[in-house]
Chains A and B, each alone.
Chain A
Amino acid sequence: MKRTALAALTALILAPAVSQAAVTVKGSDTMVILAQRWAENYMKKNAGKKVQVTGGGSGTGIAALINGTTDVANSSRSIKDDEKAKVRDRFNVLPAETAVARDGLAVYAHESNGVTQLTLAQLKSIYQGDVTNWKAVGGADAPIVLYSRENSSGTYVFFKDNVLGGEDFAASAQTLPGTAAVVNAVSKEKNAIGYGGAAYAKGVKEIKVVGQDGQAYAPSAENVKSGKYPLSRPLFMYTRGKPSGEAKDFMDFCLSGEGQAIVTQVGYFPVK
């Protein structure tokens, strides 16, 4: 009886640990394709090692890091102070931040759209619903259809903080689950505007954004690297404390020459 109880207790305690055999990577939808490529190449190179990659948004990834259900959280925004405190309260260690790539946040429009550039102030007016017609920003006389991301998305948070100054989106902005969905919607709606990772901009037009020097810049590698393009951001991996074990091996691969070459192939910008 005692042995049975002991075995049951041991199984209960060890069960979660056993289920962690693979390195789990969860979070940013912007980073999901990049992380999948990294994982595929890492597993090819290291037979027997397993990396599971899922999206859901940066907030979802960080929430999973806090509740212990992922080893690595991908995030296209910096972790917030209250999220750091939650990791510390639960695991008694601070989250470690590792920048693994850079991204230019592109503004998408339909290929037929005549608008070629926008200022950050114009973008803010459009996404807050103050400007509702393309004519007001130099385009055709047509209503602007707004596409945005869900609030669990790091892309959403970055856009809100850096374009809207932390203020709310217009209620008419339609939220879509993933940058690919935004690109797809914009490619089909001639009056649409959307935003997301530059790497996803296929079949849509990238609108140039006016930088601090008054010049309009596209989210190219050169402009992102030089900092002239005003909407660029680092992409992070977060771990509970310093990366260790299998997670560290995987992250070391992401930051290696081979891993950073994959960054370029996918359409982002290397950090090394």
Chain B
Amino acid sequence: MYARTVAFLAAMALAPAVAVAQEAQPSAPAAAAPAAVPTTDPAVLEGKVDSLTEQYTETKLDVAGLKKIKFSGYIQARWAWLELATYGITGSLPPDKDNFYIRRARFKTVADGDWTQFTLQIDAVPSAVGLKEAYATVKLPAGWAIDAGLQLMPFGYEVATRSSSDLDLLERSLVSVYFLDGEYDTGVSARGKLGPVSLRGGIFNGNGIKAAAGRDNDQLKDFIARATVDFGFLTAGASGWYGKTINYSAVVNGGHVTYDRVRAAIDAQLYLDLLPFGGTYLKAEYMWGKTGIGSANGAAGVALGRAASGGYGILGQNVGPWNQVAIRYDTFINHSVDISGATNTKIKQLNEISGAIHTFIGSGGKFSVAYYHPTYGDKGAAAASDPKADRFEAQLQAKF
């Protein structure tokens, strides 16, 4: 690119000289005409080369500056079918019935400075344009950094390390959604590496981006952290979350009750090079905690301080460079709240088996289909084990 630029500049600079030389030839017999200044004068050429070198260096610095700004993003266009869908003028909103919709339309900008970094990510879907990431980074010695602003929660494998564009299924597991819905929160965190261990942790509002327009519901802050170890074929992580939340929407004994908002999680991923046509992998994660995300006030108060737990296991296989299949078993237990939303049916455990096939298209495209079949694992006497809530999703993704 640079060579082409230099060649172009050289051509531009030398063009007048060449033109003069070509025009000079026919007039050569006119001996009376004053001799033209020789266009091959080394001093003139040297001056032109110096000028070009100066321009080239300037252009190079400009280009180097532009290279510090990086854009990325992806679009996920999806069609979904839901067994539980009801139709009519009061029917469910997308994607709760057969529909085309935009799951994600993300655009991310990262601008790298000497000691700081700017990160901004926007999600634009027809219902709203939302801010997903907006944080300032200060780089510290030895590869450490501090991030301040709206950022990914440093908790759990699916949220802290996997982009929505790279999920094994098309949606995260039940327990991740319950405790980490929205995936982003506002706070300040530090990150860095100690040998094979990556660390990230900090102080956050703790209520997630989805609740109260991304603002906290109280004055209490939560500590959230994750450590990941990477041995190449095996990676594992442990996450911890300690905080409290106050329910200002209810008065109990003349005051407001403070609830624990805590979580702990462990995860492991094993990558095996067993078959000649692609990698095989196993992933598992278990999470326990109290108080679901965004359930600090009001109607969601039933979840305040209540314990829940769950986990999943995934078996995946790449088939050649372009295809991948994955099967997940997922379980979620709400220890004290009826999971179905109805009363007195005592359904506290939801299990789900799901599978996905991904076909990669070139370097940035992916076509995926996924099917989810949930069942009740702990049902009341009057409830069926199959809630008839299967889902099918087909998605085309383009990423850059």
Q: List residues of A whose CB falls within 8 A of some B CB.
A: 12-13, 16-17, 20, 67-69, 84-85, 88-94, 96, 150, 171-172, 174-177, 181, 240-242, 244-245
- When distances are taken between beta carbons in the complex, the residues of chain A under 8 Å from B317 are 92
Please name the residue on chain B nearest to A170 by beta carbon: B57
Contact A175 B324 (CB under 8 A): no
CB B159 to nearest CB in A, in angstroms, measures 15
Contact A93 B273 (CB under 8 A): yes
Please name the residue on chain B nearest to A84 by beta carbon: B232
Contact A16 B280 (CB under 8 A): no
Query: Looking at the complex, which one of B230, B279, B321, B367 makes contact with A20 (CB distance below 8 Å)?
Result: B321
Residue among B233, B271, B280, B324 having the largest count of chain A Cβ atoms under 10 Å: B271
Complex CA–CA separation, A174 to B278 (angstroms): 42
Query: Looking at the complex, which one of A84, A96, A174 makes contact with B2 (CB distance below 8 Å)?
Result: A174
- When distances are taken between beta carbons in the complex, the residues of chain A under 8 Å from B271 are 88, 92-94
A12-B276 CB under 8 A given contacts A17-B322, A93-B318, A172-B57? no
Please name the residue on chain A nearest to B322 by beta carbon: A16
Query: Looking at the complex, which one of B273, B324, B364 makes contact with A241 (CB distance below 8 Å)?
Result: B273
CB A231 to nearest CB in B, in angstroms, measures 24
Complex CA–CA separation, A231 to B86 (angstroms): 71
Complex CA–CA separation, A92 to B364 (angstroms): 17
Residue among A13, A150, A245 having the largest count of chain B Cβ atoms under 10 Å: A13
- When distances are taken between beta carbons in the complex, the residues of chain B under 8 Å from A12 are 359, 361, 367
A-contacting residues, B338-380, CB 8 Å: 359-364, 367
Q: List residues of B whose CB falls within 8 A of some A CB.
A: 1-3, 6, 56-57, 60-61, 166, 230, 232-233, 271-273, 276-281, 316-318, 320-324, 359-364, 367
- When distances are taken between beta carbons in the complex, the residues of chain A under 8 Å from B279 are 88, 91-93, 240-241
Please name the residue on chain B nearest to A14 by beta carbon: B322
Please name the residue on chain A nearest to B67 by beta carbon: A151
- Beyond contacts A91-B321, A93-B279: 13 other A-B pairs, Cβ-Cβ < 8 A, are A13-B322, A13-B359, A16-B322, A16-B360, A17-B321, A68-B322, A85-B230, A92-B318, A94-B233, A171-B57, A174-B2, A177-B3, A241-B278
- When distances are taken between beta carbons in the complex, the residues of chain B under 8 Å from A175 are 2, 60
Contact A68 B363 (CB under 8 A): yes
Contact A242 B273 (CB under 8 A): yes
Complex CA–CA separation, A68 to B321 (angstroms): 6
A69-B318 CB under 8 A given contacts A91-B279, A92-B271, A176-B2? no
CB A138 to nearest CB in B, in angstroms, measures 25
Contact A67 B363 (CB under 8 A): yes
Please name the residue on chain A nearest to B272 by beta carbon: A93
Complex CA–CA separation, A55 to B241 (angstroms): 48
Please name the residue on chain A nearest to B321 by beta carbon: A68
- When distances are taken between beta carbons in the complex, the residues of chain B under 8 Å from A88 are 232, 271, 279
A171-B278 CB under 8 A given contacts A16-B361, A68-B322, A69-B363? no
Complex CA–CA separation, A48 to B232 (angstroms): 37
A93-B3 CB under 8 A given contacts A20-B321, A88-B271, A240-B321? no
Complex CA–CA separation, A96 to B271 (angstroms): 13
Contact B3 A69 (CB under 8 A): no
Complex CA–CA separation, A244 to B320 (angstroms): 11
Query: Looking at the complex, which one of A67, A84, A89, A92 makes contact with B278 (CB distance below 8 Å)?
Result: A92
CB A171 to nearest CB in B, in angstroms, measures 6
A17-B320 CB under 8 A given contacts A12-B361, A12-B367, A84-B232? yes
Complex CA–CA separation, A68 to B279 (angstroms): 14
Please name the residue on chain B nearest to A172 by beta carbon: B57
Complex CA–CA separation, A24 to B166 (angstroms): 26
Complex CA–CA separation, A93 to B281 (angstroms): 8
CB A55 to nearest CB in B, in angstroms, measures 14
- When distances are taken between beta carbons in the complex, the residues of chain B under 8 Å from A176 are 2-3
Q: Can you name 15 A-B residue pairings with CB atoms under 8 Å? A: A12-B361, A12-B367, A16-B360, A16-B361, A17-B322, A20-B321, A68-B321, A68-B363, A91-B278, A94-B233, A150-B2, A171-B57, A172-B57, A175-B2, A240-B279
Contact B2 A244 (CB under 8 A): no
A68-B360 CB under 8 A given contacts A92-B318, A93-B271, A245-B276? yes
Contact B232 A94 (CB under 8 A): yes
Complex CA–CA separation, A175 to B324 (angstroms): 40
- When distances are taken between beta carbons in the complex, the residues of chain B under 8 Å from A241 are 273, 278-279
Residue among A91, A92, A242 having the largest count of chain B Cβ atoms under 10 Å: A92
Contact A92 B3 (CB under 8 A): no
Contact B324 A92 (CB under 8 A): yes
Complex CA–CA separation, A234 to B341 (angstroms): 63
Residue among B281, B324, B359 having the largest count of chain A Cβ atoms under 10 Å: B359
Complex CA–CA separation, A163 to B367 (angstroms): 45
CB B182 to nearest CB in A, in angstroms, measures 23
Complex CA–CA separation, A181 to B360 (angstroms): 36
- When distances are taken between beta carbons in the complex, the residues of chain B under 8 Å from A91 are 278-279, 318, 321
CB A187 to nearest CB in B, in angstroms, measures 16
- When distances are taken between beta carbons in the complex, the residues of chain A under 8 Å from B2 are 150, 174-177
CB A243 to nearest CB in B, in angstroms, measures 10
